[in-house]
Amino acid sequence: MPEVDIAANYLHMKSVANQFLRECLGPQFTSTPEGHIQTDIAAACSLSGLMILQETVPDLPGTEPGIVILSDVHSRQNEVFEFMMRVVLSDGHELPGPWDNLAAIKQPMFECVEMTRRLAPKFYELCAAFSRPYYKFIAAFAGVKLVLAGASMGLLDPSKGKGLATYYVVAGSKTAPYPEALWPPESAATDGDTSLHL
């Protein structure tokens, strides 16, 4: 798998994650007055998982949306999980509890496949300066920022937030997406290229 230079691009990745949060999630995504943080965390992390799935399984077009796809995604999942832990540490916060608390996984308002269908096209636009191997980290960055915000604002127990994040990375990495959630054809030129296209 091509390497990515997260340290060199961290601030730009953070900027894109913030833009994704502002433009795609919150009340505008859930059509609720205050938004729904569990849904937003699940949505961002489902996108991260979808990026993992697309890196691992190249022949997704034509697959029935929503079916479970079993593939060797574990190493990429682990890279994302390690990145998520580093984001928490770099933020200077400690989030108590494990990353596998599944108490809140039924709380998101939408199914994984629906969240990726609605969000992926705009997400790809926002990530256009990066090559594909960065996408899974940018989506996970957004998810972790929501976990941190939920904890600091008292909206969501941090252990439940972390459990949501990890669960939906896994769910996204094994759920066949709708066609409109797949990488757009014009991104094909950057597939496997880890340089930034700024």
DSSP 132: G
CA-to-CA distance for 116 and 102, rounded, in angstroms?
Answer: 20
CA-to-CA distance for 157 and 150, rounded, in angstroms?
Answer: 7
Q: What are the E-state strand segments in 32-99?
A: none
Q: How is the chain split into domains, by residue range?
A: 13-183
CA-to-CA distance for 80 and 154, rounded, in angstroms?
Answer: 25
Residues 6+ apart with CB under 8 A from 59: none
pLDDT at 186: 59
pLDDT at 118: 97
Helix (H) or strand (E) run with residue 140 in it: helix 135-152
How confident is the model over 99-158, as pLDDT tens digits? Answer: 888 888 899 999 999 999 999 999 999 999 999 999 999 999 999 999 999 998 999 999
How confident is the model over 26-64, as pLDDT tens digits? Answer: 999 999 998 999 999 999 999 999 999 999 998 898 899
How confident is the model over 84-99, as pLDDT tens digits? Answer: 999 988 877 777 777 8
CA-to-CA distance for 59 and 146, rounded, in angstroms?
Answer: 32
Residue from 85, 88, 80, 84 nearest 148 by CA: 88
Provide the β-strand partners of residue 175. Answer: 68
